[in-house]
Chain A
Amino acid sequence: MVSTLLEILVCGLLVFGGFFALVGSWGLTRMPSLMTRLHGPTKVTTLGVGSCLIASMIFFPAFKGSWSAHELLITLFLFLTAPISANMIAKAHLHRQGRGLDPNPMDDIATGLPETGVGSGWATFEGEDSEKLDLNR
């Protein structure tokens, strides 16, 4: 009885995880610009992989009799690092667009960033060379 319930739980988590991993990659392919493409991999794919890891964490103690904390470690690490790498990619993209390197017309930022509305400019361009690059239009 308990074994059947655990099997259904593992199957549900696996199907959920596989579906969400596919949806994240599909979003990466279909979205028009990088700022929208960032949504798919960073949120949806991370959720899918986390679901697969939790399924593995239930599967091995329940059916194979071995237990390890590695899945928890990987899940924690992925959930911690996904926002950081997304932030780095968005920052690199903003700077390249601001310098006019490989602009994508689907990004509105190719023609200048919108106003921040708080008096100061965008924090990522507040460095020493902001005047030289003329980015705060």
Chain B
Amino acid sequence: MIATAVLFALGCVGLGMMLNLWRLLRGPTTADRVLALDTMTINAIALIVLIQIQMGSPVYFEAALLLAMVGFVGTVAYCKFVLRGDVVE
């Protein structure tokens, strides 16, 4: 039963990442692209956790944690660059 639920969730998250990619490529404004990239990072974390449940081995938690931190820092750096034209002033 859990295997089926994991497959369903994997399909949903994968489809969501494709929608994010469409918004990233198309997005009319710069902020749209930054938002799409941020959402893709969050969906990638979900993907890592789901693959981990499917494999049954808790070895990728460090990867998910690192992706969460680096994704947040990247989003803030992009916004800062768009706002000020510089990341570290």
Binding site for B on A (CB under 8 A): 7-8, 10-11, 14-15, 17-19, 21-22, 24-26, 28-29, 34, 37-38, 40-41, 45-46, 48-49, 52-53, 55-56, 59-60, 63-64, 66, 68, 70-71, 73-74, 77-78, 81-82, 84-85, 88-93, 95-96, 101-104
Contact = CB atoms under 8 A, between A and B. Distances in A.
B75 A77 contact: no
The number of chain B residues touching the other chain, given as a range, is: 35 or more
A73 B31 contact: no
A96 B30 CA distance: 9
A94 B38 CA distance: 18
A137 to B, nearest CB: 20
A128 B80 CA distance: 17
A85 B8 contact: no
Contacts of B72: 77, 81, 84-85
B88 interface: no
Contact of A78 (B42, B61, B62, B79): B42
A14 B65 contact: no
A77 B69 contact: yes
26 contacts: A7-B2, A11-B1, A14-B5, A14-B6, A14-B8, A15-B9, A17-B46, A18-B10, A18-B11, A18-B12, A22-B12, A25-B19, A25-B43, A34-B35, A41-B35, A48-B46, A56-B53, A64-B58, A70-B64, A71-B49, A77-B69, A82-B42, A89-B31, A92-B30, A96-B30, A103-B29
For the complex of A and B, 8 pairs with smallest distance between CB atoms: A18-B9, A25-B16, A18-B12, A70-B61, A93-B31, A88-B79, A41-B39, A22-B12
A100 to B, nearest CB: 12
